[in-house]
Structure 1
Amino acid sequence: MEPGSIGLYNDASVYDILHAPGTREEAEGLLRMHDRFVTAKASAKLWLEPACGTGRYLIRLAKKGKRGVGFDIDPGMVEYATARAKRLKLSPRPRFGVASMESFVGDGLVRPGSVRLAYNLINTIRHLESDDAMLGHFEQMRTALAPGGVYLVGISLTVYGLEPPSEDVWEGRRGRTTVRQVVNFVPPVANAGRARRTERVFSHLTIRKPSGEEDRDSTYTLRTYDEGQWTKLLKRAGWSVLGVIDEEGDDVKLTAPGYGIFVLSPE
């Protein structure tokens, strides 16, 4: 994020309002994915979300009786998620802690072999800035998963030199506050080595309240993978692909550039 910018991740309440729409349906999709792919014993009860933000999925899943743990590198997100779960008096109540995607097992939050399902959706994993960071993350996840557990990773794959810039618009509302985000994605024009494997993301937020309107701009980068790079990385990490699915848990044939959820199992 650029110095001095105030982006989406700097304000947990704004983040939560923007991402709330569709949470129920997405959580239902996770339940279907679990029922289809997970074969872990019942003793492995944990559902794990790396980089969980405000914990919206885990809070929804707790209402379905699922025992969840989430972590985020941002203390403000963790504080917000913890307070909301407590306020809702959920049982089981999801637990949240501050941790990075490269180091989260054995810190009192996630025990080795305790996770039946982990999920990391909507390109969040691409915040890891190098293949080494990604390999470290997958090794941590291998340790966390119980036998028969799976890891769901939602990722967009690129085609260098052929993927055009694109724009997404998101909007959420809570009470008398409306949050609108316009996001512009600028992919690398070609794969010219490691230094060029970044997609530039420009975010413009408009926050409307009865007291007035506020605009916030920020920018960040995401690491890019084409199909070959992603396949090679998973092979190096020692993970098998059980399937590629959409948000509802149905099989898809992913054609890059495009987004899919990879159902992964450690070899």
Structure 2
Amino acid sequence: MTAYYGELCTKMYESDKSMAEGPELSFYLSYVKGRKVKVLEPMCGNGRMLIPLMQHGVDTDGFDISEDMLKVCKEKAVKLNLKPDIFQAKIEEFNSSKKYDLIMIPYGSFSLLPDSLVNKSLQNLKNALNEGGKMLLTIVEKDNKIEEVSEWTETNRKELDGQTIIEYRKIAYDDETKILHIQLKYDAVGEGIVERTELMDFPIRLYNPGEFNRVLKDSGFRQITVHEVRDGYGDGQSFPVYECMK
């Protein structure tokens, strides 16, 4: 069974990455705190950024492709008496009658899009921005430390909801397409028996430094600035956030 952020993957993700905090959250809050702005978070997943923003009084909508991720997001929101406007959608098909002052995609979710969907997705987001609105978009840049893994290798193990969930992965890089192909396998184990397995393809488009700047310019965005934000998914990790205007 292949699922995109299915139930087991979502449980594992939520156990590690439930809520944004620290320098990453502070960075995004610096664009909205104390201002009356309407924010959209495409690819919002389990609400790790959306919910903390709402807790700080920021009017935030979100959407994601994964039904399981959105379910977790809604459950967390209910416990905190929050009522986010979140819905299921693909970014390359997104069409909004609403207009937003700020659109943000934290961490590297946008790099899940292959080149064939990038321009259409950027145009959809641009169309949803108010004139003079900003976008904060994070991509994954290529470094020289790619280690390919040809056999299933255990990368995480958690005791969740009375069962053991084990994550395995394989990694291969295609230099022609610049895509890092990550295959993920999640086994739910109870009393030593694998009760359920989820498989997921997780292709990440790796950009060379400066390459994404040109992509944004070609899509009509302007005033492009790149910020380096540290400690996003964990201490010591950093990633580039592209700030641009419609």
What one-letter code is carried by the residue in structure 2 that aligns with 1:126?
S
**How many Å apart are 1:172 and its aligned residue?**
7.3
How many residue pairs get aligned? The number is 231
Are 1:118 and 2:103 an aligned pair? Answer: yes
- 2-structure distance, mates of 1:57, 1:173: 25
Q: Deviations over 1:215-240 (max 9, x none)?
A: 75543312232235423312211123
Are 1:67 and 2:50 an aligned pair? Answer: no
Aligned residue for 1:245?
A: 228
The answer to whether the 8 A contact 2:186-2:198 is kept is: yes
Q: TM-score, normalised by structure 1?
A: 0.70
- 2-structure distance, mates of 1:163, 1:136: 31
Aligned residue for 1:19?
A: 17
Secondary structure of 1:263's partner? Answer: strand
Consecutive unaligned residues in structure 2, runs of 5 or more: 233-237
Consecutive unaligned residues in structure 1, runs of 5 or more: 250-257
**How many Å apart are 1:213 and its aligned residue?**
7.9
- 1-structure distance, mates of 2:105, 2:230: 12
More strand by share: 2
- 2-structure distance, mates of 1:55, 1:89: 14
Identity %: 19
What one-letter code is carried by the residue in structure 2 that aligns with 1:124?
S
- 2-structure distance, mates of 1:125, 1:5: 21
- 1-structure distance, mates of 2:169, 2:52: 26
1:81-230 matched pairs, under 5 angstroms: 81-90=73-82, 93-106=83-96, 111-112=98-99, 115-131=100-116, 133-158=117-142, 162-165=144-147, 181=167, 185-188=171-174, 190-191=175-176, 196-205=177-186, 217-230=199-212
**How many Å apart are 1:259 and its aligned residue?**
3.3
The answer to whether the 8 A contact 2:182-2:203 is kept is: yes
Q: Deviations over 1:51-77 (max 9, x none)?
A: 111212111111111111110122332
What one-letter code is carried by the residue in structure 2 that aligns with 1:156?
V
Aligned residue for 2:235?
A: none
What one-letter code is carried by the residue in structure 2 that aligns with 1:23?
A
